[in-house]
Amino acid sequence: MGRPLLLDLFCCSGGAACGYAAAGFEVVGVDVVDRPRYPFRFVRAEALSYLDRLICGGGVRAFSLIHSSPPCQAGCALTQGTNRAMRWGRDHVQLIPDLRRLLDRSGLPYVIEQPNGTAPVRKDVTLCGEMFGLGVIRHRNFELGGWAAAAPTHLRHRGRVRGWRHGVYHDGPYVAAYGNGGGKASVAEMQTAMGIDWTDAREELTEAIPPAYAEWLGRSFLAGVGRQTDLRRAA
């Protein structure tokens, strides 16, 4: 038997994808922008239209799990035809409600990933870099559709995120893997802190989730259980 297939919607350069691959999945990524550094099979497409077509054509049944990381800025600049008719191509559209409807229609288990904020997602699991001994805090929330995993213990942070805030410089064991300047991480620091070495594009690094997060999700899914675990000690 081959490896279970995972559909990686809004894949960017594959932070999540590499974690799922390490957990044992074969991965197919979809992004509206060309991502030549994505290390797996890649489809350039608008994610909701693509999923809609997969559901209608039955191709979705080849997959075991769908991961999605929709843009968190409640807006995306797209395009034509079905997208526009369905309102997915207009500026400042919150994609998550339509995305969730499609994911439910797919009949498959799924993950919707979001950073903290106002996005309409459940926080079934929240992961933090400290759980994996990483050099970022990077809290990310995951809504799990059709499956469950027990959230791991949120460990106490070892210190602060390095950088300038409100005119004061703070040192600390974590780097800020977003934005630029103000003591934020260099590309090399972001790569090391998150465990990503296949892209040096700053934008892709600032968008990525650390592969360790997706590896944990993938392994939990494949094990069919979610155990309360101190991942740093278990590693």
Q: Which is nearer to ligand SAM, 74 or 155 (CB)?
A: 74
Q: Using CB under 6 A, list all residues that contact ligand SAM.
A: 10-16, 30-33, 46-47, 69, 71, 76, 78, 207-209
CB of 216 to ligand SAM, least distance (A): 13
Q: Which is nearer to ligand SAM, 113 or 124 (CB)?
A: 113
CB of 2 to ligand SAM, least distance (A): 23
Q: How many CB atoms lie within 10 A of CB 39?
A: 15
CB of 58 to ligand SAM, least distance (A): 21
CB of 1 to ligand SAM, least distance (A): 27
CA 12 to chain centre: 9
Q: Which is nearer to ligand SAM, 183 or 192 (CB)?
A: 192
Could you tell me which residues come within 8 angstroms of residue 89 by beta carbon, excluding any fewer than 6 positions away?
Answer: 46, 76, 78, 79, 80, 83
Q: Which is nearer to ligand SAM, 48 or 170 (CB)?
A: 48
Residue nearest to ligand SAM (CB): 15
